[in-house]
A and B are shown apart, each in its own frame.
Chain A
Amino acid sequence: MKGKIDVYIREGSLRYRFTLKRNITVVRGDSAKGKSTLVRILEDYRDDMENSGRSSTVVDCICRIVTLDLDGWKYAQAFPEEYQDAIVVLDEHNKFIKSDDFARFVERSKAYFLLMTRNNLTQLSYSIDEVYRMIMKNNEHVLEKIYPSENDFYVNSFIRHKPSNILTEDSGAGYTFFNTLSIECIKGSGNSKIYNKLEKQSYDDLMIIGDGAAFGAHISKLSPLVEKFGYQLYLPESFEYLLYDKSIFGEGVNIIKNNTWDYAEGVSWERFYTEQLCTGLKCFNIRYSKHSLPDLFIDYIPTILSNNNLEFLLDSYNANCKSDNSSNAKNGSEVTLLNLDDLD
């Protein structure tokens, strides 16, 4: 499933209106805001349609919407492909939502999921931008982002400045990229490990850089620390999203970046942009690995920083600094830069 999916549901005077654009959307927040009522309405609608083929409830959506509970879970696990054209809605009392089996089901079904839960589902990869609360607006239940952002900066870090320290989510290509800056760079070794690092030690004037597309399960742990110590929290979709830049791959990149929902089918956008980058680099005969940054990118670092709201880091760029890791792509052959726009 891909694309922006508009959903409108009406039962009596109750109305719900929202749009889903990624494979996982999480709704949490205060009690009595209509989350469980939405699930009940959908279950009643399903029962009406099964029993009589008609319902007074209006469900307006280009794809089918199904609810999943413990009774349906065994079947769903056995036949995940039957859900690939569906929005699957789960209420919070389903224990299996926290399991690795559920993560496998999400991956195999390629459906869109609307999850009513306050749990941090660390076994799933979902975006900080797709964590919502339900509110009333114009007499309709709608979704409101819990973590607003400005140019990929989150929590209280809307004022951006050159930091004294940078903590990167990864210890490979991302770390190498930011280590070219004349700023102390610290390895985080994964979104889930960033928290572990900060739990043990506080840092002066720190900027945390992570993958926003996979940060949804980790932000609630991190935001109290970010607020307490005044850290900057920069979360672009992913590091590979940064590298997948128009200066290297052509203007077509921006079409994809501005409409990712039309391209990323049933996967997290973090995985999508890794795949896009890998495909794009094949044209340069370069194989990408998260463990090392191809030398190709070193000279483009200033441009990538400028194109991603990080201009204030430009004067830290050290042009003499090269990657510590050899490019996987050297292969003893010349690397010729091609623009994807020039290719068929």
Chain B
Amino acid sequence: MLKIIYGILDTDEDFIYNGDAFFNDEREEEWLSNELVKQMILDIDKSEVLDNNLIKSPVLGLIPPEYLSGGVKTLISILYNPELLFNATGCGENCSKWLLKIADELDEDIIINLQYNMEFPEGPFQIKVMNTDTVITNDRDLALEALGLSDKYVNYYDGVISYEG
């Protein structure tokens, strides 16, 4: 399941604030040979993976993986590192359906942090809003559940959510 912690996060978990930089530093060669990854790159960046180190972009031409968008790099990093807690604020709303697909693809729950109210597809889906410990199944309810949460300072220590002040 996809789990979301909304807000400006402080945590004792392994928290990756910058998914773009993480991808650039930690990318493994085989990441781009994954079929789901190729689909995400085609959908979000409108680009075709030619091999593990070369992508054909309609706007930028032939580019290395480091020139992919920050959003798709964060998604790929999440797919290959589900045990880490990623800040997905760098992902635009065109990434939201892929977050759900990644969660479906993996056997384990993934937790992301969002500092804005990302719109998701209409539904049905299952997303747990960890701030309120509530499972939401459609985008309208999610928009209302998440209202006001993304600006708050939130702590996540020992698996427990709390707020500053």
Query: How far, in angstroms, from A131 to B20 measured CA to CA in the complex?
Result: 23
- Do the beta carbons of A31 and B116 come within 8 Å of each other? no
From 112 to 132 in chain A, residues with beta carbon under 8 angstroms from any chain B beta carbon are 118-120, 122
* Cβ distance A311 to chain B, nearest Cβ, rounded Å: 33
The answer to the question of B155 belonging to the interface, with a C-beta cut-off of 8 Å to chain A, is: no
Majority-rule SS of B interface residues: loop
Interface contact B94-A30, CB-CB below 8 Å: yes
* Residue B50 is within 8 A (CB to CB) of chain A in the complex: no
CB-nearest residue of chain B relative to A91? B70
B117 within 8 A of A: yes
Of B100-108, B126-134, B144-152, the one with at least 4 CB within 8 A of chain A: B144-152
A92 touches B90 (CB 8 A): yes
Which of A221-229, A273-281, A288-296, A323-331 participates in binding chain B? A221-229
How far does the Cβ of A194 sit from chain B's closest Cβ, in whole Å? 11
Q: Which residue of B lies closest to A29 (CB)?
A: B92
Query: Is residue B160 contacting chain A, with contact meaning CB distance below 8 A?
Result: no
Contact A93 B147 (CB under 8 A): no
Query: Which residues of the other chain, B, contact A33 by a CB distance below 8 angstroms?
Result: 92
**Complex CA distance for A120 and B12, rounded to whole angstroms:** 24
* B17: Cβ under 8 A from any A Cβ: yes
- Pairwise interchain contact B72-A118, C-beta atoms closer than 8 A: no
Contacts of B59 in A (CB 8 A): 14, 34
The residues of B that contact A164 with a CB separation of less than 8 Å are: none
B45→A32 contact, CB < 8 A? yes
Complex Cα–Cα for A28 and B94 (A): 12
Enumerate chain B residues within 8 angstroms of A195, measured Cβ to Cβ: 147-148
Interface string of A159-175 (1 = CB under 8 A from B): 00000000000000000
Contacts of A98 in B (CB 8 A): 8
Q: Flag whether A36 is at the interface (Cβ < 8 A).
A: yes
CA distance A117 to B92 in the complex (A): 10
- Residue among A28, A31, A93, A228 with the highest chain B CB neighbour number at 10 A: A31
B60 contacts A31, C-beta separation under 8 Å: no
The answer to the question of A199 belonging to the interface, with a C-beta cut-off of 8 Å to chain B, is yes
Given contacts A118-B116, A120-B116, contact A32 B46 (CB under 8 A): yes
The residues of B with any CB-CB pair to A shorter than 8 Å are: 8, 17-18, 20-21, 44-46, 59-60, 67-72, 89-95, 115-117, 140, 143-144, 147-148, 150-151
User: With contacts A120-B150, A220-B117 known, what are 20 further pairs, Cβ within 8 A?
Assistant: A30-B71, A31-B44, A31-B45, A31-B70, A31-B71, A31-B90, A32-B68, A32-B69, A32-B71, A32-B92, A36-B69, A93-B70, A93-B90, A119-B116, A221-B117, A221-B147, A221-B151, A224-B143, A224-B147, A228-B140
